Structure 1
Amino acid sequence: MTSNGRCYDLLKSVMADAVEEELIDRNPCRLRGAGKPAPRRKGEVLSVQEALQ
């Protein structure tokens, strides 16, 4: 995970605590997939023949 991803996760956690403590109405950190690294490569599906070799 990148440092940006870790920072976003921390900010999201802090904002979630602020919502729980009723300091803010809702968490502004709502980006889907933010803080999650993109896969480096796409997986490859093997055929039965290839798997048995």
Structure 2
Amino acid sequence: MDHVFSVLQEADVINIQTDQVSLDNTIIKVHPDGTGALKKWPTSHWEIKRWMDN
């Protein structure tokens, strides 16, 4: 692919810059706060709510 673009650029048919990125399937673990996940409420929160309703 690089050869095709370089030949076309040398012939002044196109004038572009190509950048290539290669990714593998590496898994990166991210802390839940880093992904925007909602924070879990402690179980005592629900106990207080039930106690106040009754």
| TM-based fold match above 0.5 | no
Which range, TM-score by smaller chain? 0.3 to 0.5
The one of the two structures with greater contact order (alpha-carbon pairs below 8 A, sep at least 6) is 1
Which is higher, the Rg of structure 1 or of structure 2?
Answer: 2
TM-score, normalising length from structure 2?
0.32
